[in-house]
Structure 1
Amino acid sequence: MNQKRIEQRGLWLGILINSIMAVSGITVFLITDIEALFVDAYFTVITLVSGIVSIIISKVSSKKSQRFPDGLFVLEPIFSLCQSLLTIILLSLSVITVSVKAYRYFAFGEGQMMNVGPVLPYEMVMVCLSFTLSWFYARQNKKINNSSTMLLTETKGTLIDGIMSSGIGLAALLIFFIPVNSPLRFLLYTGDFFVTVTLIAFTIKMPFQVIKLAFIEISGGVLQNKQVQQKVEHVVRTNLADDILVKSCVIYKTGMAFRVRVLINGSSHDSINLKKLAQQKQQILTELRHKFAFMNLDLVYDS
């Protein structure tokens, strides 16, 4: 199956499931007014919107034109970068909101007791859907040798959603059994503060990881995936003749597009059979494109 079709199939299923999760999350948040559910619900909304945009980008990024002869693959890491930045902004705003709410309770005794009744069944379903969808994204990406930056972003984002749902559900279960006259009574009013801050502390690293990888791709940095590096180098060295010395093999990745720059010893350039070398280059490309659909190869002489 075409690699873009695999990517798009994963994104379409994500849109369907995230639509269900988003509507359910917003509904339960409006019923309970628990800030941690705001984070959970609107994070799902972001994931839903990003899935729709991802589909559009996935369809246009591989199209070539006179102005963009190599395609628009750079849109893929740019989108992942923007989505991750938006995630960080949302998480930061949520921390501020619950912090203000907790401060008002501890400083002035102002607050509203949380209604956790509808939370438990909702979060059980959300946890199952989130982790299943994250696993599905990762599985689809693995089929295409983890070459999709957007599927990686969706995997991380949905995983964060699942972790947050797990934490909220566990906290709601504990709060449900706290008596009104208990020493832990304050959690009935501020529990969402502790849950939100704890969950964000555990998940904030993920969007920064995606930002780092996206920035490397946008700025033309070398590939960070060591497994892909080893696979490509093995194919290159296996198909080149023994009398050709490979001095280095550098791989650049932008979205799903790869460019391999192989530096070979050019001191004996006159003795190299250029026709045979061209055939070997085509063999390398053919084999690599079975694993990575959008692959370019440059053989460079170094004296």
Structure 2
Amino acid sequence: MQQKAIEQHTLMAGILANLFMGAAGMAAYYTSQIEALFVDAYFTVISLVSGLVAISISKLSTKVSKRFPNGLFILEPIFSLVQSLLTIVLLVSALATVSWNAYKYFAYGQGKIMDVGPIIPYEIIMLLLSFSLSAYYNQQNKKINESSTMLLAETKGTLIDGIMSTGIALAALTILFINKESIFNFLRYTGDFFITFSLVLLTIRMPLQIIKRTFIEISGGTISNRHIQKIIENCLHKHLHGTLALSKCSIYKVGMSLRVDVLLNSKSVCINKKELSAAKDIILIELKKQFEYIHVAFYLD
């Protein structure tokens, strides 16, 4: 299984899609000057830039050297961590901007009517593209047993983009039918704030989840992905029998690289090294069909 090839092919497809969506989003923002649309467009731009960085890291992380004999897989969770932090900064800064604009309207009556008409068809197209791209990222990551930290980050980031496009489209459609005599007339001036505030509340959890996962990887914690854990544990239980018994299994994941530390509880006084070596070879052969970069180490209790 060429996991890196699948990862890189997927990232390249995402770059092309985000290139189109980013250009269209920035054009729509400069036409309408709606802050929520700015957030939406810049999310796409971030996805585009992060895709370019991700594909470079994907190619670099497998390179080995004397100083890094196991490769540079640590770059993958670092990339996802930085991307998620930038996402949070963007959300918070956009919320601060629209909050200030809303304050000026309610406190001093200063504001400009939102021109939402032109952005509705744009946002409908963007939400369809974003959700499709997020589903594609997710599908490709599942194809490689959810081993790519970077594809996980791209899946969540593009999903946020799709949710934002959906929220903006629905809110814009609502505002379009509000007239100046309505009690909701204030939304024609401050709808940008309520849209952005709702979207931030709805999406802020996703980058926080990515930060948690990547921090576990970087700090050397055991894996939190139950899907990967189940595959590996089932394989170990299948092949460790007879005079050897599995006492404990610790799985560590850094990017696409996996390390499995197996603690054995011997049932006999003497350890059969040939049996142990043969079991390890069989386990590695089977696991490498599922995970391209995996290492297994046996320890005796």
Gaps of 5+ in 1: none
CA shift digits 1:74-109 (9 cap, x unpaired): 000000000000000000000100000000000001
Residue in structure 2 matched with residue 174 of structure 1 by the alignment: 174
Supply the distance in 1 between the matched residues of 2:241 and 2:273 (Cα, whole angstroms): 12
Which letter does structure 2 place at the counterpart of 1:107? A
* CA distance in 1 between partners of 2:227 and 2:51 (Å): 27
Rounded Cα–Cα distance in structure 2 between residues aligned with 1:150 and 1:114? 37
Matched residues in 2 for 1:127 and 1:267: separation?
A: 59
What amino acid maps onto 1:173 in structure 2? L
| Distance in 2, Cα, partners of 1:219 & 1:266 | 31
Secondary structure of 2:298's counterpart equals strand
The alpha carbon displacement at 1:63 in A equals 1.2
* TM-score, scaled to structure 2: 0.98
- Answering whether residue 235 of structure 2 is matched by residue 235 of structure 1, we say yes
> Deviation of residue 245 (structure 1)?
1.4
- Cα distance in 2 for partners of 1:105, 1:57 equals 46
Query: 205-214 vs 257-266, which deviates more?
Result: 257-266
Aligned to 1:286: 285
**1:126-165 alignment runs, 5 A limit:** 126-165=126-165
Bigger mean CA deviation after superposition, 173-182 or 235-244: 235-244
Residue 242 of structure 1 and its aligned partner are, at CA, apart by: 2.1
The C-alpha deviation readout for 1:177-196, integer Å capped at 9, x for no partner, is: 11122111110010010000
**1:80 is aligned to 2:59:** no
Q: Residue 233 of structure 1: SS of its match in structure 2?
A: helix
Match in the other structure for 1:256:
256
Alpha-carbon offset, residue 300 of structure 1? 0.2
1-side partners of 2:41 and 2:226: how far apart? 35
Distance 1:153 1:269, change over 3 A: farther
How far residue 236 of structure 1 moved from its aligned partner, in angstroms, is 1.0
Question: What is the aligned partner in structure 2 of residue 117 from structure 1?
Answer: 117
Percent identical pairs in the alignment equals 56
The total of aligned residue pairs comes to: 301
C-alpha distance in structure 1 between counterparts of 2:242 and 2:162, whole Å: 51
Shift of 1:212: 0.2
Question: What residue is the counterpart of 2:89 in the other structure?
Answer: 89
Change (3 A) 1:269 1:45: farther
* Kept in 1: contact 2:245–2:267 (CA 8 A): no
Aligned AA for 1:263?
L
Listed as ranges, the gaps of 5+ residues in structure 2 are: none
Provide the aligned C-alpha RMSD in A: 0.9
> Partner amino acid for 1:299?
F
Q: Is the 8 A contact 2:243 2:266 kept in 1?
A: no
Task: Read off the aligned partner of 1:294 and give its amino acid letter.
Answer: Y
Look up the equivalent residue of 1:291 and give its one-letter code.
Answer: Q
The Cα of 1:54 is off from its aligned counterpart by 0.2
Distance in 2, Cα, partners of 1:237 & 1:163: 42
The alpha-carbon deviation at position 241 of structure 1 amounts to 3.0
- Paired with 2:7 and 2:111, the residues of 1 have a C-alpha distance of 46
